[in-house]
A and B are shown apart, each in its own frame.
Chain A
Amino acid sequence: MATAEHKHPNYMAIFWYLAILTVVEIAVIYMPLAKFTIGVLLCSLALGKAVLVAMYFMHLRFETRALGLVAITPLVIATLLIFVLLPDGFAVVKRTVGVKAATTEPAKH
């Protein structure tokens, strides 16, 4: 079974990284920071955790480069999707702001 054997990373170290990053994530939402800063921090922490899981638990680090491309494709598609949704989002926000200005009552969806 020599070919299927992976170089085993230190799984417990990865576990502690993930646990600590989770604690940091929870701490971040209570920090007196701007909402945008908190959002950026949370997104990068989540991405960091996801990369740790994929690279070490799913052994992506020890796989071929082409398999890495297969794995990264959904992230690219999801990112593109955000840009696809943006124009629609702007249109709705614009209309909602118009309604709010006219009635002064918050719009219910």
Chain B
Amino acid sequence: MSQVASMHGAVEPAESPLTPESWGKLGMWIFLAGDAVGFGTLLAGYGAMRATSADWPSPYAVLGINLTALMTFLLICSSVTMVKGLEWLGKGDKSRAIRFLFFTALGGAIFVSLQAYEWTHLIHRGLHINGNPWGASLFGTSFFLVTGFHGLHVTGGVIYLLAIMRVVARRPSPAASYNPVEIAGLYWHFVDLVWIMVFTFMYLL
């Protein structure tokens, strides 16, 4: 600990107690913990509405899971390209790191596009925010609310990643952008983690 402190002594006034690398990383973790409570609340609310409803439709029969399984796989792949990007940056290869960050952002963009396609398809079949042909109207409400909230996170993540790519490109030393990329990675993996939960609770269960 004291070694790290003396290294950064002139730059940072005090060392972050939980994340010796930077305060930013601790900040991101605390933000993610708060965001997780938000998603947890949405999912718990979904569970409560569903458990107390007499005519809740069967999600996987109405929504279909083939496309969503593909989307899940895509998000897992984009998490792998994210860690690979960070790994290359750690090895000092800036251009490979930027390329993998781009693949990650591309994966996110395709995910959101597929979600837009899925929504359009479902809306045409009659799934609306205030009613649907299969049963409880809250089914549509909660579906659009939760997947929409997650989709916004992915959209935000894509913009975040594009901004971070610029940071990596502009800073001359790869080591100088390691920390911002790692923090962006935390956000991206969190979005993946949340999708794992949403996919299980809203599509499969």
**Is B116 at the interface (CB under 8 A from chain A)?**
no
* Interface range for A: 35 or more
**B156-205 at interface with A (beta carbon < 8 Å):** 175, 178-179, 182, 185-186, 189-190, 192-193, 196-197, 199-201, 204-205
- Are B19 and A58 neighbours in the complex by a CB distance under 8 Å? no
* Interface range for B: 35 or more
B26 — which chain A residues lie within 8 A by C-beta?
Answer: 67
Question: A88-B48, A107-B54 known; A12 and B80 CB under 8 Å?
Answer: yes
Complex Cα distance A27/B29, Å? Answer: 34
For residue A3, which residue of chain B has the nearest CB? B4
Question: A3-B4, A11-B83, A67-B19 known; A108 and B55 CB under 8 Å?
Answer: yes
Complex Cα distance A11/B185, Å? Answer: 14
A8 — which chain B residues lie within 8 A by C-beta?
Answer: 87, 90
- Are B90 and A71 neighbours in the complex by a CB distance under 8 Å? no
- Are A78 and B55 neighbours in the complex by a CB distance under 8 Å? no
Q: Across chains A and B, which 10 residue pairs bring their CB atoms closest together, nearest first? A: A78-B40, A74-B36, A46-B200, A92-B52, A85-B48, A1-B175, A57-B189, A67-B18, A81-B44, A53-B193
- Could you list 10 further interchain pairs (A-B, Cβ under 8 angstroms) beyond the known A54-B189, A85-B47? A15-B76, A46-B197, A46-B199, A46-B200, A58-B185, A64-B19, A74-B33, A93-B52, A108-B55, A109-B137
